[in-house]
């Protein structure tokens, strides 16, 4: 019931006063009307849905899918039933029942042939849904005010209409703030800082305009029946309009308010198609069943029963949504997930258009049945029809549709068989959905695939389950099937590429990234990973180009900055490399929560930036960089990187002519716990210190002891020969031993004591030229 009233046309509506019936202004009664019809149960159900999706995601997903079968699908059928079940209604809305329906069928065919259209179609549905909900809430609010004898004045109606529009705009701003989190939903990507104040203004406008109109209703409710009317009576009269206004607040304004004041985010698809859809659908069935009952009784059909009507809606709803994707998927091997979204979007869009046409309070017949609280519609209202037939005598349909609507035994049996068939199909679809939602449980996922293997989402779930069992090849096979079903999905292609990388199939991963970039040349993640593979496969220039493009497109890509720095440093372009290392370090500092495991990378980048500062004659910056690197490594408990930072700092201080400071940093590095470091790194530190001692004019025996210790460390290291490192240090030790002569034997016999002397040299020992 998307648009049953409009602020510029409400004056044409008769000011129906409530009759003497004690049930006025209610539809079915206060409890059901307030809870279901006015959305009084919104707060507890929204809370339950929020908590359930956090802790019981699969169970809630299955429960919602079952609720869709019971309420969502039937509410679409209620509109179809109203527009198609008589020739009079069918002809009255022919442009919607025929022409618009055919146009949407063409759109569905195009969406299957050109998958790039599906996100646009689905985004239209996601963004239209809240407007549809808004129209229904507003229309029901207008209906209840008139049933209560409070026909809104033009200013009040406009204020409420503007308030409801503001709540919709508020939600749309939320949907389109930042990038989309769903590849099927497009976003305007409005920066959060630009969207904040418009959101706040919409919320204030909604509360101000709506509160003003409701206050006017309250005052007019008192004056219309005299000052002696008790406040309790006015409260009963306004209970429905106020509850509907509060429901609109809970559905649209409150979630965005939480988003503005916390880190919660309103999810686009789940919000439009989740619990809010269930609330809207039950509300819709509540009012359409009332309308259908009154219309049937006005036509003299006293046999109308809600049970039979609801069974028709359930079976018809299943027919609208479930057979189409199954048939298209099984016959044409189309992706079931994409096909289901296509049918969902098209059926919804047709529903929105058709619903806006048939439910308008300015339509005399609709007004007579919804606003007059008596058991019979007014004669004038009942007779109103653009086709000339009276409501009491609906024109029968002709041809096959007329035969199907007949009462012969064969037709009734056919209708019962169709209902049973669709219900069985719906049950089978529910079972498959239950199996397909069993994330991580491979046997159930495989049972779902046995029913329909042409489902990219299901194949991706099977791949994730295979990866948990370390079956990489099966995961790659499942992801390959998923990509074949939905080649336009970047998410699936990235998943397949990562699986190929994990399996060491680098050429295939590289080819996949090249194909992905041919479709999406600005995919930054693909550029970064393609660069890594290009470097690994021996194409350094191509890697540089990919990383440069990635950084140009998104300077906040920390990994791209780091890789680009490494590549430029390997080419000898140290100052250019330092700019990218510095950018990486700045990003890590700005967002430490996103780089919790990058301590070693960050320390390495700090050291390289400090090296570049030292060579660029910026000693103060270099010293600060080395200190920061050592401090970070120490806080991370990474002795190896701390030792590296101290050694680089020592070398820098020696170049700057401060041997005393250089000796202090070398000694700090050697004092670190060697058990926390790689043997090669420890040996390198000792060898470098030994050479530093020789360059500083210290006794040769001290330098020899350090070189000898480094050589022994490498010789005794477990896990194989150190190779070239051992040969290089061996040559240095031999040269020192030759210089030392016979004293070398004494040093060998008292190595530990000599080493202690070497690492305990005071700063003053390095002060002489």
Nearest to 515 by CA among 534, 535, 497, 495: 497
Cis peptide upstream of residue 408 (ω within 30 degrees of 0): no
Would you tell me how many other CB atoms lie within 10 Å of the CB of residue 255? Answer: 21
For the segment 639-648, the average pLDDT, to the nearest whole number, is 92
Q: How far apart are CA 292 and CA 289, in angstroms?
A: 5
3-state SS class at 159: helix
- Give the pLDDT of residue 384: 41
CB 512 within 8 A of CB 480: no
CB 703 within 8 A of CB 693: yes
Query: How many Å is the maximal CA-CA distance in the chain?
Result: 128
- Give the pLDDT of residue 272: 60
- Give the pLDDT of residue 50: 66
Q: Is the confidence at residue 223, as pLDDT, over 70?
A: no
DSSP sequence for 309-371: HHHHHHHHHHHHHSHHHHHHHHHH---HHHHHHHHHHHHHHHHHHHHHHH--TTSHHHHHHHH
Where residue 392 falls among pLDDT bands split at 50, 70, 90?
A: very low
Q: Read off the pLDDT of residues 274-300 as tens digits, 9 standing for 90 and up.
A: 778 889 999 999 999 999 888 888 877
For the segment 435-464, the average pLDDT, to the nearest whole number, is 93
- Give the pLDDT of residue 385: 38
CA angle 318, 175, 498 (to 5 degrees): 80
- Give the pLDDT of residue 233: 57
Where residue 210 falls among pLDDT bands split at 50, 70, 90?
A: very high
Contacts of 367 (CB under 8 A, 6+ apart): 13, 14, 16, 361, 381
| Exposed/middle/buried for residue 617 (C-beta within 10 Å: 0-12, 13-18, 19+) | exposed
3-state SS class at 666: helix
- Give the pLDDT of residue 649: 95
Q: Read off the pLDDT of residues 657-714 as tens digits, 9 standing for 90 and up.
A: 999 999 999 999 999 978 888 888 899 999 999 999 999 999 999 999 999 999 999 8
CB 143 within 8 A of CB 157: no
Q: Is the confidence at residue 601, as pLDDT, over 60?
A: yes
DSSP state for residue 377 in the 8-state scheme: -
Q: Is the confidence at residue 374, as pLDDT, over 60?
A: no
CB 145 within 8 A of CB 151: yes
For the segment 406-416, the average pLDDT, to the nearest whole number, is 74
How large a percentage of the chain has pLDDT more than 90? 54
Question: Among all chains, which residue has been given the structure tokens 């220039």?
Answer: 541
Q: Where are the domains of the chain?
A: 10-426, 678-769
Chain-centroid distance of CA 298 in Å reads: 49
Higher pLDDT, 591 or 176: 176
Q: Read off the pLDDT of residues 562-575 as tens digits, 9 standing for 90 and up.
A: 999 989 988 888 88
- Give the pLDDT of residue 165: 97
Q: Is the confidence at residue 225, as pLDDT, over 80?
A: no
CB 356 within 8 A of CB 136: no
Q: Read off the pLDDT of residues 519-560 as tens digits, 9 standing for 90 and up.
A: 899 999 999 999 999 999 999 999 999 999 999 999 988 989
């Amino acid at each position: 019931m998307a648009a049953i009233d409009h602020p510029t046309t409400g004056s044409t509506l008769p000011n129906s006063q409530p009759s003497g019936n004690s049930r006025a202004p209610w539809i079915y009664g206060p409890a059901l009307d307030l809870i279901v019809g006015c959305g009084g149960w919104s707060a507890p159900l929204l809370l339950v849905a929020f908590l359930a999706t956090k802790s019981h995601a699969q169970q809630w997903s299955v429960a919602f899918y079952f609720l869709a079968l019971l309420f969502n699908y039937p509410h679409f059928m209620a509109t179809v039933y109203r527009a198609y079940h008589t020739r009079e209604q069918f002809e009255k809305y022919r442009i919607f029942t025929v022409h618009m329906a055919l146009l949407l069928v063409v759109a569905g065919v195009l969406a299957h042939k050109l998958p790039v259209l599906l996100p646009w179609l689905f985004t239209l549905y996601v963004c239209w849904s809240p407007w549809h909900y808004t129209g229904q809430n507003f229309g029901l609010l207008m209906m209840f005010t008139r049933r209560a004898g409070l026909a809104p004045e033009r200013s009040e109606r406009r204020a409420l209409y503007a308030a409801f529009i503001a709540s919709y705009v508020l939600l749309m701003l939320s949907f389109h703030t930042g990038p989309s989190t769903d590849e099927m939903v497009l976003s305007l990507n409005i920066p959060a800082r630009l969207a904040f104040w418009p959101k706040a203004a919409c919320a204030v406008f909604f509360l101000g305009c709506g509160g003003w109109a409701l206050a006017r209703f309250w005052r007019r409710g008192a004056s219309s029946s005299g000052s002696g009317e008790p406040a309790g009576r006015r409260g009963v009269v306004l209970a429905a309009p106020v509850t509907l206004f509060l429901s609109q607040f809970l559905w649209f304004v409150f979630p965005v308010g939480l988003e503005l004041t916390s880190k919660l985010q309103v999810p686009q698809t789940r919000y439009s198609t989740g619990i809010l859809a269930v609330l809207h659908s039950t509300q819709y069935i509540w009012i359409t069943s009332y309308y259908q009952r009154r219309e049937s009784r006005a036509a003299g059909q006293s046999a109308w029963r809600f049970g039979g009507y609801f069974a028709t809606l359930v079976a018809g709803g299943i027919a609208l949504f479930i057979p189409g994707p199954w048939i298209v998927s099984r016959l044409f091997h189309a992706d079931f997930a994409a096909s289901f979204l296509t049918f969902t979007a098209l059926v919804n869009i047709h529903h929105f258009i058709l619903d806006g046409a048939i439910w308008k309070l300015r339509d005399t017949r609709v007004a007579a049945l919804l606003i007059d609280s008596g058991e019979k519609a007014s004669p004038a209202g009942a007779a109103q029809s653009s086709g000339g037939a009276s409501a009491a005598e609906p024109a029968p349909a002709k041809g096959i549709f007329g035969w199907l609507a007949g009462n012969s035994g064969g037709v009734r049996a056919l209708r019962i068989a169709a209902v049973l068939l669709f219900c069985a199909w719906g049950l089978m679809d529910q079972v498959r959905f239950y199996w397909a939602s069993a994330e991580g449980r491979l046997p159930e996922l495989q049972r779902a695939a046995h029913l329909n293997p042409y489902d990219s989402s299901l194949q991706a779930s099977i791949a994730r389950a295979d990866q948990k069992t370390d079956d990489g090849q099966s995961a790659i096979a499942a992801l390959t099937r998923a990509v074949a079903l939905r080649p336009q999905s970047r998410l699936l292609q990235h998943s397949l590429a990562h699986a190929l990388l994990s399996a060491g199939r680098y050429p295939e991963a590289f080819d996949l990234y090249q194909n992905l970039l041919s479709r999406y040349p600005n995919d930054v993640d693909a550029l970064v990973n393609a660069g890594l593979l290009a470097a690994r496969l021996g194409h350094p220039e191509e890697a540089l180009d990919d990383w440069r493009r990635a950084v140009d497109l998104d300077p906040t890509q920390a990994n791209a900055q780091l890789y680009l720095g490494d590549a430029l440093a390997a080419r000898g372009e140290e100052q250019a490399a330092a700019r990218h290392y510095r950018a990486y370090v700045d990003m890590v500092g700005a967002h430490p929560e996103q780089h919790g495991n990058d301590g070693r990378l960050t320390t390495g980048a700090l050291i390289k930036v400090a090296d570049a500062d030292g060579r660029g004659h910026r000693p103060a910056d270099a010293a600060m960089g080395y200190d920061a690197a050592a401090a970070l490594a120490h806080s991370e408990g990474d002795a190896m990187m701390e030792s590296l930072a101290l050694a680089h700092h020592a070398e820098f201080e020696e170049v700057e002519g401060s041997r005393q400071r250089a000796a202090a940093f070398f000694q700090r590095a050697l004092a670190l716990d060697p058990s926390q470091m790689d043997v090669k790194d420890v040996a390198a530190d000792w060898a470098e210190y030994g050479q530093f001692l020789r360059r500083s004019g210290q006794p040769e025996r001290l330098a020899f002891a350090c070189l000898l210790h480094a050589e022994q460390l490498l010789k005794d290291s477990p896990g194989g020969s150190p190779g070239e490192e051992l040969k290089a240090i061996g040559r240095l030790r031999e040269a020192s031993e030759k210089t030392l002569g016979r004293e070398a034997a004494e040093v060998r016999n008292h190595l530990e004591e000599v080493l202690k002397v070497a690492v305990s040299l005071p700063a003053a020992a390095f002060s002489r030229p």
